[in-house]
Chain A
């Protein structure tokens, strides 16, 4: 069966520090991968999605970037965090042609 994991679960970082959140999927190949951010009262905002290794599409211009160095690995990064980057970040994947997302456990980032 397929599983998705992301880490760390919680992270407290000072403004201006770098960020790296990792996500891996097991039990499938060539998944579509996604990074969402969840803010209170604003639902889920799609940040990045990837249909293959090295293929990243950005939905929202911002201080973050994403990379997909391996088929089942998706990384969310920042060189210098801003206060506004605080939030709950969710990684997700979809099997082809279903539209159905499977989510990771989430990473709560607090920037101080």
Chain B
């Protein structure tokens, strides 16, 4: 199983929107609605931000949203804030679990 493909980095100014893509195949992202997204600050454990493609856990700001089209899932951060600067990983079920390559979000 290959890791899901994410852009290495994305950036935006405070208040702007950024979108992170997560590209897989019909055997993972495209085949199941079990896509989740995790935020990881340096030296910290990952934190769940989105589950089941587009659902947001309690406590996660509504500026975080998820979607999926075909074999590509996306995480959008609207109204970017300084504390959103972190690494983000997608994860999909594929008979087992496969994570994305990770994206560093930089707030300019």
Report if A and B associate in a common complex: no
- B residues contacting A by CB (< 8 A) are none
